[in-house]
Amino acid sequence: MTGIDPASDRSAAPELPRPRSFWQRIADRMAAFLGAERPATPPEKSVAFTIAVIALGAKMAKADGRVARSEVAAFRRVFTIPRSEEKNAARVFDLARQHTAGFEAWAQRIARMFQPGDPVLDHVIEGLVIVATADGSLHVAEREMLDQIAEIFGIPQERLIIVIARHDSESACPPCQVLGVPPDASLEEGRQRWRQLIRENHPDRAIAAGLPREAIRLAEARTRTLNEAWQQFRDSRTPA
């Protein structure tokens, strides 16, 4: 069928059954994505988010020289993969990690899918941090890769540090670092910052934006971490 204006009203277009499953479509997009000079923006952000985590997640898992089981398990925690789709998901993961080099090009392609500051880019970074820290520590090569990807995505280094602090047990990050306030911040300054971050990261915002379940789960994890950090920050400034 030709002559269809892509900007026309969607309600005028007939609804056609999807011939392939969700993960099969992602695998097809991944294969096309690898060979395309400039990929077209996927029609739904959930697909773009999934491709980003799979592609960069596979390379992140490989950054320290090996792909640990815990890193694969971390990927499964972020994404709910139906048993019937495990083979297709594995195909995507293996396709993405065929080459350890070239993650910068992947990050640049993903960045072009979204407007600067799009929350999906923050979700991708957090997914990568979860994979990188799944084996118990953040390797130097993994941190360097995260720094470069964050720069490509336009994510400030301060924000990346906060994200890493949420998941890296070895960082021993104090609550002020999680909240993004200086060590000498007052109780009221910490309270205002905590409330701001809760508003920005609340799962309801992800739901209202139509983001996928994975993004909603990450938002829930962030709010739990922020609440814990605020409680520790408050207790540290409240006389016994």
pLDDT in tens, 219-239: 888 899 899 889 988 887 765
CB 129 within 8 A of CB 164: yes
Domain boundaries, the chain: 22-169, 174-240
> DSSP assignment, residue 39?
P
Mean of pLDDT values over 55-75: 75
Where does the pLDDT of residue 26 fall: very low under 50, low under 70, confident under 90, or very high at 90 and above? low
pLDDT at position 43 is: 31
Classified by CATH at the fold level, domain 174-240 comes out as Helix Hairpins (1.10.287)
Classified by CATH at the fold level, domain 22-169 comes out as TerB-like (1.10.3680)
Rounded Cα distance between 135 and 122, Å, is 22
| Structure token pair of residue 186 | 């007052």
pLDDT at position 101 is: 65
pLDDT at position 50 is: 66
Bigger pLDDT: 140 vs 152: 152
Q: Compute the mean pLDDT over every residue in the chain, rounded to the nearest whole number.
A: 74
Strongest mean pLDDT among 30-34, 62-66, 126-130, 168-172 = 126-130
Where does the pLDDT of residue 114 fall: very low under 50, low under 70, confident under 90, or very high at 90 and above? confident
Is residue 134's pLDDT more than 50?
A: yes
pLDDT in tens, 146-189: 999 999 999 998 788 878 877 776 665 468 878 888 766 788 98
Q: Which residue has the tokens 């200086």?
A: 182
Rounded Cα distance between 57 and 134, Å, is 11
Rounded Cα distance between 135 and 167, Å, is 11
Measured in degrees and rounded to the nearest 5, phi and psi for residue 221 equal -65, -40
Bigger pLDDT: 136 vs 45: 136
pLDDT at position 207 is: 85
Mean of pLDDT values over 65-75: 73
Number of H helices, E strands in the chain: 12, 0
pLDDT in tens, 76-104: 777 666 677 677 767 767 776 666 667 88
